[in-house]
Amino acid sequence: MKKIEIIAHRGASAVCPENTMAAFERCLEQGATGIETDVQMTSDGRLVLIHDETLTRTTGAEGWVKDKTYEELRELDAGSWFNTEFAAECIPALEQLFGLIRGKNILLNLELKNGIVSYKGMEEKIVQVIRDWDLEQQVILSSFNHASLVRCKRLAPEIQTALLYMEKLYRPYDYAVKLEASALHPYKFAVTREEVAASIAQGVATHPFTVNDPEEMKAMIEMGVQGIITDVPDVLAALTAAH
């Protein structure tokens, strides 16, 4: 079977609380070759890793990420909602994850969560932090906000971008080329064999999300995708190793 990127969705999110250092560390042990995570910004301009714009689901606290300072967020327990054994987990700063993956052959997919909340200066900030850590070649930025990705590309042509989308797009590979995106990150049911082939011809990769069923993984690999975003990187690693 062709080697594909095993991209752990929010880390090893099936067995650890999503987007915590425990989840990121565990997915590397499970054989992930890449990590997907969600980036938001605090009121004092720090980039932090949390999926929801609000704090309730994963910390039990009230309010929005955008309205809290970094210090306020760091007080919160981001693990107990999943299992009390993870009570020591905080909402990580982006730099903590950089520290984990720097020097390792791991792809890092940072999803800018700037669809519902418009974080002023987020693109400048993320580019600056990536450059400070010399991780331009290891990171791929994605977002459902394609204008934001175009902005990132203008600021940092050397950093790859990937277009997220839920529903089918018309000739998504042409759209990707136009927006100078390196990859398409479609919802799994928006992927077709013909579009994967056409994307390859245009030099555009396809990394569907979120694929957890082994049969669906096999179907995607057979279509020719270059990577899969999954909650169960161990399942995908075992499947690719067996073929």
Distance CA(24)–CA(100), nearest Å, equals 8
Do residues 183 and 162 lie in contact, with contact meaning Cβ atoms separated by under 8 Å? yes
Q: How far is CA 11 from CA 85, 110, 126, 230, in A?
A: 17, 12, 20, 9
Q: Does 231 bind Ca ion (CB under 5 A)?
A: no
The one-letter code for the residue type at 57 is R
Instruction: Provide the residue count of the chain.
Output: 243
Q: Which of 21, 32, 35, 38 is the binder for Ca ion (CB under 5 A)? A: 38
Q: Does 164 bind ligand G3P (CB under 6 A)?
A: yes
Q: Which of 18, 77, 111, 231 is the binder for Ca ion (CB under 5 A)? A: 111
Q: Does 21 bind ligand G3P (CB under 6 A)?
A: no
Look at residue 229 and give the partner it binds from ligand G3P, Ca ion, none, a contact being a CB closer than 5 to 8 Å depending on partner kind: ligand G3P
Q: Which is nearer to ligand G3P, 71 or 190 (CB)?
A: 190
Identify the helix (H) or strand (E) that includes residue 239.
Answer: helix 233-241
Q: Which is nearer to ligand G3P, 30 or 37 (CB)?
A: 37
| 207 part of the active site | no
Q: Which of 26, 151, 153, 185 is the binder for ligand G3P (CB under 6 A)? A: 185
Distance CA(78)–CA(61), nearest Å, equals 10
Find where tokens 């270059």 sit: 226
- Residues in contact with ligand G3P by the rule CB under 6 A: 9, 36, 38, 51, 111, 142, 164, 185, 209-210, 229
Active site residues: 9, 51
